[in-house]
Amino acid sequence: MSEFPTTILAGVVDASPERGGGLTGTLLRAGVSVTALAIVASRIDLRAVRDGLTALDWPWMLGAASTVCSAILLSAVKWRVLLRSRERALPLTRLIRHYLVGLFFNNFLPTSVGGDVVRAWDVGRDLDDTSEGAASVVAERLIASVGLALTAAIGLPFVRVGAPVYVAVAVVFVVGAGLAGLFLVPSLSERMVSSAMGRRFEGVAGWLGATTRITGEVLRDKRTVLLVLALSVLFQVLVAAVTWFIFRALGAEVSLVECVVYTSIVSAVTMVPVSISGHGVREAGYAYFFALAGVAPATAVTASMLFFATVAVCTLPGAAFFAAGRRHAS
């Protein structure tokens, strides 16, 4: 669960003239995940992981699940703000359904297509305009990527960290701002959208040029961008709060502001398309960064696994919504 534009990055990485790199890319990312998990498992006390799971304080886990649901609701609100700025508002409940479907795809399917493409397609059908649907998703992800780095930067003054953390935050910001900036250059943005969205949008007349044009127009709407950026920061704080609840459930003393900084960095790192749903990379990131907060590696890895599991359980309704939507469409 992240606000980084993973679909755009994954699409660019997998793109080839014949569009045949998808399976190869998926297999390579699966290999990275398996290897990273094996390395992490070899360097932690697996009995400590088992003990942490058996001694969970479940009221704190309920707090984590409730916060995930709040974050999903906020994400749908952000999406609606962007659509309303284009006078294309949809009911909030509809957008929540689409968001859950997208998250289900991100969490459970090992594909470079990702949930962003699915929800872009679904909202495009609702609007009867695939370009508006795709542009709303792309713009949201681009703005949120900047918000991800901004959230980490806001927390930095309140946490004692070394130079590597400052460098990590700076890299996240440069990548996020850079991707957003590229969308102000039509030729580059068209290539990025084409790579990210893939075959499903091919053949939709004029969708590429219209999508990039609309995305650029949204990014030039300063009032809307600032509002969505503020909501993105709040979203990332909620994501950090999920991690904080999980650490409390494990009996680990970690401050919320430390979770804000380190969870934001890990979220960005896991969205670089080198693994399946961030598996392996996320666990290594938790072990490394939360060690700076005095958390034992086994506890940090356990928290990482519980984070994914909590988000996965909360997004399971997306499977039912997807199945119901396809039955209705057929």
Please compute Rg for the chain using Cα positions. Answer: 19
Say if 330 falls within a structural domain.
Answer: no
* Structural domains of the chain, count: 1
Say if 52 falls within a structural domain.
Answer: yes
DSSP state of 310: H
Q: What is the pLDDT of residues 70-97, one digit of tens each?
A: 999 999 999 999 999 999 989 999 999 9
Q: What is the pLDDT of residues 237-293, one digit of tens each?
A: 999 999 999 999 999 999 999 999 999 989 888 877 778 878 899 999 999 999 989
Highest-scoring range by mean pLDDT, 3-12, 164-173, 306-315: 306-315
Full domain range(s) for residue 297: 6-324
Say if 1 falls within a structural domain.
Answer: no
Say if 238 falls within a structural domain.
Answer: yes
Listed in sequence order, the DSSP H helices in the chain are: 6-14, 22-42, 46-54, 58-85, 92-108, 114-127, 130-155, 163-182, 186-197, 207-220, 222-249, 256-270, 281-291, 297-314, 317-329
Say if 210 falls within a structural domain.
Answer: yes
What pLDDT sits at residue 58?
Answer: 95
Taking alpha carbons only, the member of 51, 94, 58 closest to residue 76 is 94
What pLDDT sits at residue 12?
Answer: 37
- Asked if pLDDT for residue 125 goes beyond 60, the answer is yes
Say if 270 falls within a structural domain.
Answer: yes
Over residues 55-73, mean pLDDT = 96
Alpha-carbon distance 165 to 27, whole Å?
31
